[in-house]
Amino acid sequence: MKPRVATAWLGGCSGCHMSFLDMDERLIELADKMDLVYSPIIDIKNFPGNVDVTLVEGAVANTEHEEMAHLIRRNSRIVVSFGDCAVTGNVTAMRNSLTREAVLDRSYVQLADITPQIPRDYPTIAELMTTARPLHEIITVDAFIHGCPPTADQIWYAVSQLLEGKIPALSNVYLRYG
Amino acid sequence: MAILTLTINGEHVSGKDDESLLAIAEQHGIRIPTLCHLDGLSDVGACRLCLVEIEGTPRLFPACTTKPREGMVVSTDTERLRKYRRMIIEFLASEGNHQCAVCVVNNHCELQNMAYETALTHVSVPYLYPKKELDASHENFIIDRNRCILCTRCVRVCHEVEGAHTWDIAGRGIDCEIISDLNQPWGTSESCTSCGKCVLVCPTGALIEKGEAVSEMEKKTDFLRYIVTARQKREWVNLDSDEE
Ligand code: SF4
Ligand code: SF4
Ligand code: SF4
Ligand code: FES
């Protein structure tokens, strides 16, 4: 059976996923080697069970991300922080030295074109956490892919290693922040 | 001045008694990671990255401020030292606010290079996200304290080489920060001559030139060697021909 791979998108800009698609023709090779069972780039609603490797883009910035992180951990053998926001908090965490109220006010009131109001009391809207955190502060993480975004070559190297059942050793040319 | 013999990483080396272990190691092609040290400035042992082991004592010593002794047995690259060096980079990263992706010195940063050299895959201590001030009041330069690692290179170059002594450190412990003159906006400083030396020696994106965008600024520190040799030896070295 081919390895079951998932990718998830938490508090990030989707750049890491764009970079994943940047692997171009190598994606065809990957399609032969693995089954993509969950991802923002395929049409599936719920995170499945029994996943071999999950790449997680983005920091944990709100309560939905937090729940998702735990769900991913419960159902994945290997969890990978995918990109600088997941690894360090990065741009998503730039708000962390401000108060949550100030951030919400700036985003939803001061910069609003119409109906300025902070969304509250809607059970469907996730609550912003006081600070956005790197993934490994919330759940145990097994491997790290750096970069904002990681290059297609970095992702190719890491994913190839993971599919062979190895943890990518990123203490070489593939370790690169920013 | 006397010549001493000692052992570094199993290799017999000799050095002058008034030189640092770091200088002696360097002369023998042994690389010790550093951040606060810069050739041409005094050494203060601020960053602790250059820590080495000396046989006969469990303490670790910063190579940049430790003088040799006859027969000393020094190790510069043990498992323990590698672990501590990585830990130092983790502390520096977690005590500031570093987002390399949007930093002016991205890809040209000594802190980043040390993260690579110590194979820092992630920071295992909680990030502190401190509230730090950015001061853009100077006509040409910016100090962004979010990126400052308190190496004090700026303080030393301004005092020792430019002679202006604009910078100092205020506060204690985790609250330490670099201030200009009497803790006033840099742009209102009366001592600053706007020479730009502090900006060039700063190892991170804490001191930057205005008008530079992400990844654009590359710092050159060889001007320091030019000035210092001129002053100390009355020799005006040609930096270009030297590099070949
Ligand atoms: S100063 Fe260096 S480590 Fe800090 S954000 Fe800038 S490039 Fe990254
Ligand atoms: S520009 Fe020159 S004088 Fe001004 S603070 Fe920097 S080193 Fe000192
Ligand atoms: S501003 Fe730069 S040179 Fe000065 S202490 Fe901070 S990191 Fe070092
Ligand atoms: S280089 Fe020796 S303590 Fe910083």
Q: What is the pLDDT of residues A37-95, one digit of tens each?
A: 999 999 999 999 999 999 999 999 999 999 999 999 999 999 999 999 999 999 999 99
Q: How many Å apart are CA B237 and CA B230, to the nearest integer?
A: 8
C-alpha distance from B160 to closest chain A C-alpha (Å):
34
pLDDT level of residue B240 (50, 70, 90 thresholds): confident
Subunit contact B98:A96, Cβ cutoff 8 A: no
DSSP string, chain B: --EEEEEETTEEEEEETTS-HHHHHHHTT-----SS--TTS-----S-TTEEEETT-SSEEETTT----TT-EEESS-HHHHHHHHHHHHHHHHHS---GGG-TTTTS-HHHHHHHHTT--S--SPP------EE--SSSEEEEGGG-----HHHHIIIIII----EEEES-GGG-EEEETTT--GGG-SS-----HHHHH-SSTTEEETT--TT------THHHHHHHHHHH-----HHHHH-
Cα maximum dimension of chain B: 53
Nearest ligand by distance to the CA of B201: 3
Q: Which chain A residues touch B97 with a CB distance below 8 Å?
A: 94, 96-97
User: pLDDT over 70 for what percent of chain A?
Assistant: 98
Does residue B35 have its Cβ closer than 6 Å to ligand 3?
A: no
The predicted model scores a pTM of 0.94
Residues with CB under 6 A from ligand 4: B 34-37, 45-50, 62, 64
Q: Do A88 and B127 touch (CB under 8 A)?
A: yes
Q: Which atom from ligand 2 is nearest to the alpha carbon of B154?
A: 7
pLDDT at position A171, please?
Answer: 63
Residues 6+ apart with CB under 8 A from A59: A10, A11, A12, A65, A85, A86, A89, A90, A92, A93, A132, A133, A134, A135
Q: Is the CB of B20 under 6 A from ligand 3?
A: no
Architecture of the domain made up of A4-96+130-163: 3-Layer(aba) Sandwich (3.40)
Which whole-number Å values give the CA distances from B146 to B34, B96, B143, in the listed order? 21, 5, 9
B178 lines ligand 3 (CB under 6 A): yes
Q: Answer yes or no: is pLDDT of B243 > 60.
A: no
Q: What is the ipTM of this complex?
A: 0.91
pLDDT at residue B147 in the model = 98
Provide the mean pLDDT of chain B: 95
List the single residue in A90, A91, A177 with the smallest CB-CB distance to B115. Answer: A177
pLDDT tens per residue, range B81-137: 999 999 999 999 999 999 999 999 999 999 999 999 999 999 999 999 999 999 999
Contact assessment for residue B111 and residue B151, using Cβ atoms and an 8 Å cutoff = no
Q: Which of B118, B204, B212, B217 to mutate to test the pocket of ligand 1 (most atoms within 8 A of CB)?
A: B204
Share of chain B above pLDDT 70, in %: 98
Given B106, B121, B123, which is nearest A178 (Cβ)? B106
Pick the CATH number of B83-232 from 3.40.250.10, 1.10.10.60, 3.30.450.370, 3.30.70.20: 3.30.70.20
B59-70: pLDDT as tens digits: 999 999 999 999
Q: In this predicted structure, what is the pLDDT of residue B244?
A: 41
Size of interface A-B (CB pairs under 8 A): 69
What's the pLDDT tens digit per position in B217-236? 999 898 998 999 999 999 99
Q: What is the pLDDT, as a whole number, of residue A172? A: 66
How far apart CA B5 and CA A46 sit, in angstroms, is 68
How sure is the predictor about B241, in pLDDT bands with cuts at 50, 70 and 90? Answer: low
Chain A residues lying within 8 Å of B101, measured CB to CB: 84, 90-91, 148, 177-178
Identify the pLDDT of residue A2: 95
pLDDT at B184: 98
Relative to the CA of B147, which ligand 3 atom is closest? 7
pLDDT digits (tens, 9 = 90+) for A7-31: 999 999 999 999 999 999 999 999 9
Within 8 A by CB and 6+ apart from A129, the residues are A60, A61, A62, A63, A65, A66, A100
Is the pLDDT confidence value at B47 over 50? Answer: yes
Per-residue pLDDT tens over the stretch B159-201: 999 999 999 999 999 899 999 999 999 999 999 999 999 999 9
**Which architecture characterizes domain B3-77 according to CATH?**
Roll (3.10)
Domain ranges of chain B: 3-77, 83-232
Which ligand is closest to the CA of B152, given by its number?
A: 3
